Structure 1
Amino acid sequence: MGLYQRCRRLRFPGLHACGLHTAAVPTPPHWLVERLGYFEELWTAQVKRLASMAQEEQRTIKISLPGGQKVDAVAWKTTPYQLAQQISSNLADTAVAAQVNGEPYDLERPLETDADLRFLTFNSAQGKAVFWHSSTHVLGAAAEQLLGAVLCQGPSTECGFYHDFFLGKERTVKGSELPVLERICQDLAAAAQPFRRLEASQAQLRQLFKDNPFKLRLIEEKVTGPTATVYGCGMLVDLCRGPHLRHTGQIGGLKLLSAEYTRRGFSEVKTPTLFSTKLWELSGHWKHYREDMFALQPPGLDRPSSSQSDHSASPATDTLALKPMNCPAHCLMFAHRPRSWRELPLRLADFGALHRAEASGSLGGLTRLRCFQQDDAHIFCAPDQLQAEIRGCLDFLYSVYTILGFSFHMALSTRPSGFLGEPCLWDQAEQVLQQALEEFGAPWDLNPGDGAFYGPKIDVHVRDALGRPHQCGTIQLDFQLPLRFDLQYKGQSGALERPVLIHRAVLGSVERMLGVLAESCGGKWPLWLSPFQVVVIPVGTEQEEYAREAQQSLQAAGLVGDLDADSGLTLSRRIRRAQLAHYNFQFVVGQREQSKRTVNIRTRDNRRLGEWDLAEAVQRLLELQDTRIPNAEEIF
């Protein structure tokens, strides 16, 4: 008997009576009880309807399995999970969902027609999304039961999941409640509650979620057909497309990582984050994972681009907007005098400060700020120059990211539904970007409909030390700003022609890239970037004068050279202090080194490189710095 059935029999006397050891959990709120009762009525009716359809039709359907095998199944009765059991017990245990004719599908949802059937496991990106999205529902259920939370959104991410919910203007999650919340999640997972998929009409949806304004808004704006799907799991009922795991027991352990508070208008959103672990165990690394939190945005809004703001206002208004960019200024610079085809491509760059009105709860370290700098560049070129310029941008990007030691992944975002301009221009621009990506040779994904309203774009994503993705660089085509600023140049034929604008940012937000780079380095900066390159350490006071000469030699060469002549500490303590501060190198000078004008070199990892002539050591450091080698300590 499941958790819900036991609660129902006891008329919801709280989770403690359901066998969960959470005495601090209050009796479920009345609206949750009412919603669950209505869901059960609809669920019972759906079960009867499907059973009747299966009985009446008794129709055999053909199912194509992986490997080309074809089997018979019964319409409205046979499920993908039953077929997985027939194939192998291992597949039945590891499958998290199915694909039916290429579409995601619940394992326990009966098959309806002839179909091509594939199985998703946690090894695929789609399988991970199903696994973590199911884990999100467990967190939502715990928040409703413990906190009386009004659920907002709870998506999976590339590396985990989080949930936004509303507790009221003044209510916050107390520190003492976090262990209880985590324990409820663990108990719900252990209870192996099934995920039940219900198709409901719009009227039924509004009745189910009459006490949740966030869901009502989603229903109004997103549910365009006669029905939409709802999933029940234990006491949770949530509007969701699915698919989901068969039951919560497949999730395993969940660990609460953080709770952040964000503000949107008058309302606060409390966002606890958990991490589920049964299928992803990386030697304990997951315990240190921290997923970035974002403020809840109105449904249907795209995520803010890290490069472009909304140019839907007039050019004069753009320069005064809350999110000003360099684009209008560079357009004005292009337009301030007549231009000729001989000047193209015209490339303008600006590292000026930019501003965005970010919500307070969405700010985070260096990765999301209200004021930031961007290596913003705009290239005005003729249409026949686009291919070469895009390739040049990609080569530049590759050069910079390689030097920084980042691997990166690119995505081509194409025409959105609310685009501006002529479709033929969009088709041409998308073909240019796709051809450039194919010639470049690096892996890339297609994001249909995710382009900016003014043109398609290539977004560049890097991962930090914890595997979190960050969108940094971008290459975007823009036909609208040249049109709206009436940008023109005299072509070779003498006629006036309109340029194409390329927005290009390699680092994106300089602060964000610095934050990602800092985490990637973990304090151990490569020599060419390090703020602590060399420290000179005299053995005794007699060598202090020579140590200062060595320091001056480093500084004269343009290197960062410090001196640690603290007589209150032993030599070994000073060496250890330098290594803990991550100085790339330590120059130790004693009586022998002073007499021979040499230095004894150690690295921050305590590798002993031996005695070097001072001038030669400085020259070697310059060579390593100029070549931007990431491991200068190893190859010195």
Structure 2
Amino acid sequence: MGHCRKWLLLLRLPGFRACSLHTAAVPTPPSWLIERLGLFEELWTAQVKKLAGLAQKESRTIKISLPGGQRVDAVAWSTTPYQLAWRISPTLADSAVAAQVNGELYDLERPLETDSDLTFLTFDSPEGKAVFWHSSAHVLGAAAEQFLGAVLCRGPSTEHGFYHDFFLGKERTVQGSELPGLERVCQKLAATAQPFRRLEASRDQLRQLFKDNPFKLQLIEEKVAGPTATVYGCGTLVDLCRGPHLRHTGQISALRLFAAEYTRRGFSEVKTPMLFSTKLWEKSGHWEHYKEDMFTLQPSDSDGSACSQSEHPARLPTDTLALKPMNCPAHCLMFAHRPRSWRELPLRLADFGALHRAEASGAVGGLTRLRCFQQDDAHIFCTLDQLEAEIRGCLDFLRSVYSILGFSFRLALSTRPSGFLGEPRLWDQAEQLLQQALEEFGEPWELNPGDGAFYGPKIDVHLQDALRRPHQCGTIQLDFQLPLRFDLQYKGQAGTLERPVLIHRAVLGSVERLLGVLAESCGGKWPLWLSPCQVVVIPVGPEQEGYAREVQQTLQAAGLASDLDADPSLTLSRRVRRAQLAHYNFQFVVGRKEQSSRTVSVRTRDNQQLGERDLRDATRRLLELQDARVPNAEELF
């Protein structure tokens, strides 16, 4: 079983001073890489000659429409967008990262072929950022090939950066001591301004170029639908890629390599199902808070498990069906253990059972990837006629939960992959139902063609944490295969036996992962309804300690998480400050006046003094705010 690590670079924009370069020991390129480079150069030379011949044969003037209505002349198969950018402004030529030609993303050095509408993309646009980051991923891929002998998988851009998957062997992982060397190779590639060269190759040529890379061979079979596809060369790197890219790596002025985490991905025909990944990690301090104060990450034989600290356990509502811990096959067995009728459908089963996953060494990372975790796993058995309503219900439930938690989310519809099981007719029907449900749902969504599970299409849900890193948590998946393999049947209205459709549904996904994302988003300042530290009662002096305990007991009897800080060794102001640093949502301070009038003096964790309140009224107000699940109880109190 092989390991493929996904690495990500934090890049600075052009104009920043590049990092100083040091010598990094780069191994001699392997024979397969030398052979691939040689074949690429042959094909590139042939393409250059072909383009030169076309330019000479079709030496004709074409009309180019620029933004603002300006029209200029160009020569077909010869003039490039970069040349036109220089005609307009050298500043534009320096800042442009790519072009858009008749709505198609275009390399700046790719010759124009016909009359065109032309616009230029800079880093300020989403499309320009994607080009910049995608080109940066190629730099990382080239460095990984040279320095680590990696077999490259995928290296896309994301909404806020990029990453690269690569394969290092069954037990091989990148050591921390190797990171500086890998980073220096990346810096050297950027500094030498290697051009990105676009090559169109036939399917046979693609197979020959990547004959030593099983990941690329699978992508060729699955993704290349036409007779040709594009390959980009950059220095020693040759990679299957649709582009476009920067003109050269010198446009990446400075970069920094960050640490990695692992991720599981499926390549059905490649016997390496474990691939490993990184995410961009910025020091926010939030992780340290929830790691030290909220959870214990177990060492040694329990590595990869997280335990909530007993003193202040994290609070998370579990308003769901309470069932025994089960997994997908177990729920199918529960359905099949007695005859079923159409009157019982839809049948909805859910659990929060603990699951174990044998992650490879080094794969675990904080709360986002563990060996032991809980999943809000649910399965809905329904008829085809009920499918649309059930999907809408799942989407509404998902939106309700995420809005309460304060998350925005993005949806993607993943459709039939090449290795699907079942009847195409059922797949088409299911995909149409999912698409219709998404359109009626009213939230933005995007199509992810060919990325469905082998057993059915799915809707994936991606959250963003405080650092704007995406996390795939929720999912809604249709499954035609488990009902077939478990021979699940129910008696229909006509008395005939029919087969149900199975919906896999998770909203939180991994409970631990969602808590990790929540902790980052809150920065330790949990909203009142989730907070493990809702109220601390602080007596001004020893004389008020008895009344303070009574206040605490009143809060606890109401179901509020409350503590008492009557430490005689600290002054009142230091105890108030300690409560604020511990992120108690509220501090109830009681002195002689409050004791006599049975009131409390209310402060917030942000040191706002809300004044004196009757104890019963204050307790009732806290319960109202908690039940309303507002994110800003301190402001609304």
Partner of 2:129: 128
Worse-matched range after superposition: 410-419 or 531-540: 410-419
SS at match of 2:509: strand
Partner of 2:459: 458
8 Å CA contact 2:210, 2:216 repeated in 1: no
Deviations 1:32-75 (A, max 9, x none): 99566776566455434432332233244565666787765433
RMSD across aligned C-alpha pairs, in angstroms?
3.8
Higher-RCO chain (CA-CA 8 Å, sequence separation at least 6): 2
**Displacement, 1:206?**
8.1
Partner of 2:578: 577
8 Å CA contact 1:166, 1:267 repeated in 2: no
Percent of paired sites with the same residue: 78
What residue identity is the alignment partner of 2:80?
T
**Displacement, 1:188?**
4.1
8 Å CA contact 1:192, 1:249 repeated in 2: yes
* 1:493-512 matches, cutoff 5 A: 493-512=494-513
Aligned-partner Cα distance in 1 for 2:574–2:45: 74
Count of aligned pairs:
572
Aligned-partner Cα distance in 2 for 1:249–1:288: 33
SS at match of 1:409: strand
**Displacement, 1:490?**
2.6
Aligned-partner Cα distance in 1 for 2:264–2:412: 31
**Displacement, 1:541?**
1.6
Structure 1 residues 528 and 326: CA distance shift in structure 2, 3 A: same
Aligned-partner Cα distance in 2 for 1:502–1:41: 51
Structure 1 residues 412 and 523: CA distance shift in structure 2, 3 A: same
Worse-matched range after superposition: 190-199 or 509-518: 190-199
Partner of 2:197: 196
Aligned-partner Cα distance in 1 for 2:284–2:26: 32
Aligned-partner Cα distance in 1 for 2:286–2:633: 29
Deviations 1:441-489 (A, max 9, x none): 1111122222222222222211111111111112222233233333333
Partner of 1:319: none
* 1:525-536 matches, cutoff 5 A: 525-536=526-537
Aligned-partner Cα distance in 1 for 2:526–2:218: 51
Aligned-partner Cα distance in 2 for 1:20–1:523: 35
* 1:142-181 matches, cutoff 5 A: 142-143=143-144, 147=147, 149-153=149-153, 154-164=155-165, 178-179=179-180, 181=182
Structure 1 residues 471 and 148: CA distance shift in structure 2, 3 A: closer
8 Å CA contact 1:475, 1:505 repeated in 2: yes
**Displacement, 1:526?**
0.7
Structure 1 residues 419 and 109: CA distance shift in structure 2, 3 A: same
**Displacement, 1:386?**
2.2
Partner of 1:390: 391
**Displacement, 1:601?**
1.3
Partner of 1:612: 613
The answer to whether 1:635 aligns with 2:636 is yes
Structure 1 residues 65 and 427: CA distance shift in structure 2, 3 A: farther
8 Å CA contact 2:477, 2:505 repeated in 1: yes
SS at match of 2:258: strand
The answer to whether 1:345 aligns with 2:346 is yes
**Displacement, 1:156?**
2.7
Aligned-partner Cα distance in 1 for 2:145–2:500: 55
What residue identity is the alignment partner of 2:23?
A
Q: TM-score scaled by structure 1?
A: 0.79
Aligned-partner Cα distance in 2 for 1:64–1:286: 46
* 1:267-416 matches, cutoff 5 A: 326-416=327-417
Deviations 1:324-383 (A, max 9, x none): 972222222222222222222222212222333333343322222233222222222232
The answer to whether 1:222 aligns with 2:223 is no
The answer to whether 1:255 aligns with 2:253 is no
SS at match of 1:508: coil
8 Å CA contact 1:206, 1:216 repeated in 2: no
Aligned-partner Cα distance in 1 for 2:328–2:347: 14
8 Å CA contact 1:600, 1:610 repeated in 2: yes
Partner of 2:96: 95
What residue identity is the alignment partner of 1:391?
R
SS at match of 1:599: strand
8 Å CA contact 1:173, 1:270 repeated in 2: no
SS at match of 1:507: coil
**Displacement, 1:559?**
0.8
Worse-matched range after superposition: 591-600 or 28-37: 28-37
8 Å CA contact 2:326, 2:353 repeated in 1: no
What residue identity is the alignment partner of 2:28?
P
Deviations 1:507-559 (A, max 9, x none): 12212111111111111111111111111111222221111111111111111
What residue identity is the alignment partner of 1:620?
R
Aligned-partner Cα distance in 1 for 2:503–2:627: 31
Partner of 1:293: none
Aligned-partner Cα distance in 2 for 1:220–1:351: 36
Partner of 2:476: 475
The answer to whether 1:52 aligns with 2:50 is no
**Displacement, 1:424?**
2.5
What residue identity is the alignment partner of 2:623?
L
Partner of 1:25: 24
Deviations 1:77-129 (A, max 9, x none): 12232334455656544432234555543210223456665544434544323
Aligned-partner Cα distance in 1 for 2:420–2:261: 35
Aligned-partner Cα distance in 1 for 2:131–2:337: 54
Structure 1 residues 626 and 30: CA distance shift in structure 2, 3 A: closer
8 Å CA contact 1:254, 1:274 repeated in 2: no
What residue identity is the alignment partner of 2:352?
F
Deviations 1:418-452 (A, max 9, x none): 22222232222222222222222111112222222
Structure 1 residues 239 and 377: CA distance shift in structure 2, 3 A: closer
- The gaps in structure 2 that reach 5 residues or longer are 1-17, 266-270, 288-324
Deviations 1:220-254 (A, max 9, x none): 76277886654343454545443210122322321
- The gaps in structure 1 that reach 5 residues or longer are 1-18, 276-284, 291-323
8 Å CA contact 2:143, 2:185 repeated in 1: yes
Structure 1 residues 289 and 41: CA distance shift in structure 2, 3 A: farther
Aligned-partner Cα distance in 1 for 2:178–2:53: 46
Aligned-partner Cα distance in 2 for 1:141–1:413: 30
Aligned-partner Cα distance in 2 for 1:355–1:175: 27
Structure 1 residues 547 and 440: CA distance shift in structure 2, 3 A: same
Worse-matched range after superposition: 155-164 or 456-465: 155-164
Worse-matched range after superposition: 578-587 or 218-227: 218-227
What residue identity is the alignment partner of 1:457?
K
Aligned-partner Cα distance in 1 for 2:534–2:237: 56
* 1:418-457 matches, cutoff 5 A: 418-457=419-458
Partner of 2:292: none
Aligned-partner Cα distance in 2 for 1:402–1:21: 46
What residue identity is the alignment partner of 1:442?
E
